Amino acid sequence: MQQSTSRNYWDFVRQLATLSAIIGAFVVNIVSNIFPLNELSIGEIANTLFKDVLIIPANYAFAIWGLIYLGLFALAIYQFLPNQKHDLDLRKTGYLLVIASIAQIIWVYLFLSRLFVLSVIAMLLILLPLIGIYLQLGIGKKRVTWSKKWCVHFPISIYLGWISVATIVNVASALDFQGWNGWGISAELWAVMMLLAAFAIAAVIAVQRQDIAYTGVTVWALVAIALKNWNNFLLRNVSLILAIILVLIITIKRLQK
């Protein structure tokens, strides 16, 4: 009885910490856009300091943060429901989402402070916990109820999908700020290689896990990159072709399943 009471207490602490961290990250993101540090918001920095970074998506693509936080709030509420309060999958993820949310707050501060190299480290501290959650939940490998799929699996897949792309963009931006010459390779070719890296990761997940949410986010990013570089024949066509291939892969795998 005492062990059960103790477990219930620590479950509640974890759930409360998760909700608080998500709210904290959401508030910081909102405030940073209304009252940006050093006068430039994240989007404005991307459009000015990093206007030459070809892999940055079109501005509209960042509206996905609305969907990400909608999903995270759904997850935070779901974990408090009477039937889910002691969900073993959520218990196994521990405080990983808390770590990712705190790292998100730190990333915003570092990026707005133009400490771009350090922001890459913060981005990795968002990415790695999300990978851990993704694997612990067995997304794409484990059959779950529709409520759990919509309130837990999809939110984590969407968040991880966007952070996977954002990590590549963040690294490219930090290197550009440091004046890296790309070992003599043109910016276009580097952009294509980074597109292929994002595509390869999404393709593996599409094949192995049939994760439509993660794949869809990558397609969203690829199309936004194509639109941003519409006058660049190579980048536009490569981005669109990779997006189409991903759609075909996930469609075929879902039909087979």
Confidence of residue 181 (pLDDT cuts 50, 70, 90): confident
**Residue 144's domain spans which residues?**
2-256
CB 109 within 8 A of CB 179: no
* Predicted local confidence at residue 3, as pLDDT: 57
Q: Which two tokens stand for residue 128?
A: 């790695």
Whole-structure pTM value: 0.94
CB 210 within 8 A of CB 257: yes
Average pLDDT over residues 65-74: 97
Number of neighbouring beta carbons within 10 Å of residue 256: 7
* Predicted local confidence at residue 1, as pLDDT: 52
* Predicted local confidence at residue 4, as pLDDT: 62
User: What is the tally of structural domains in the chain?
Assistant: 1
% pLDDT > 90, the chain: 77
Residue of 49, 24, 168, 172 whose CA lies nearest to 108: 24
- pLDDT per residue as tens digits for the range 128-149: 999 999 999 999 998 899 999 9
pLDDT at 165 over 90: yes
CB 91 within 8 A of CB 75: no
Average pLDDT over residues 30-44: 89
Q: Which of 81-85, 153-157, 219-223, 251-255 has the lowest mean pLDDT?
A: 81-85
pLDDT at 2 over 60: no
CB 173 within 8 A of CB 50: yes
Provide the mean pLDDT of the chain: 93
Confidence of residue 60 (pLDDT cuts 50, 70, 90): very high
